[in-house]
Amino acid sequence: MNLIVDVGNTLTKLAVFNGETLVFHQNTKPEDVARQIKEVCDRYPDITNAIISNVGKLDKTVMAVLNIFCAVHELSPSSKKPFKNSYATPQTLGQDRVALATAAFYHNHNGNTLVIDAGTCVTYDMMNDYGEYLGGAISPGLSMRYKAVHEQTSNLPLLQPFEPLDFIGNSTETGIHSGIVNGICLEIDGVIDQYRRRFEDLTVILTGGDAHFLSKRLKNTIFADSNFLLKGLNHLLEYNKH
Q: Which residues are annotated as a binding site for ATP?
A: 6-13, 120
All residues at 6 or more sequence positions from 17 whose CB lies less than 8 Å from its CB, including other chains: 1, 2, 4, 23, 230, 234
Decide if 96 is catalytic. Answer: yes
Known binding residues for substrate: 87, 94-97, 172
Outline where the chain has alpha helix (H): 33-43, 60-69, 95-107, 142-151, 172-177, 183-198, 211-215, 228-240
Q: Which of 32, 46, 59, 96 is catalytic?
A: 96
CB atoms within 10 A of CB 232: 27
Annotated binding site for K(+): 117
Report CA dihedral (40, 226, 149, 147) to the nearest 10 degrees: 0
Q: What residues act catalytically?
A: 96
